Amino acid sequence: MLQTIYLFPQMIYLTLTGFLSRLMREFKNDERGLSGVVVAILLILVAVLAIILIWGFLSGWLAELWDRITGQGATIV
Q: What pLDDT is attached to residue 47?
A: 94
Q: Which residues contact 33 (CB under 8 A, 6 or more apart)?
A: 27
- Mean pLDDT in residue range 57-74: 84
Q: Exposed/middle/buried for 67, CB within 10 Å: 0-12, 13-18, 19+?
A: exposed
pLDDT at 23: 72
State the pLDDT at residue 49.
Answer: 94
Instruction: Specify the pLDDT at position 54.
Output: 92
Q: Locate the domains of the chain by residue range.
A: 1-30, 34-77
Give the pLDDT confidence of 1-53 residue by residue, as tens digits: 667 777 777 777 777 777 777 777 877 776 666 677 788 889 999 999 999 99
Distance CA 2, CA 14 (A): 19
Helix-strand-coil percent breakdown of the chain, rounded to 5? 95, 0, 5
Tell me the pTM. Answer: 0.44
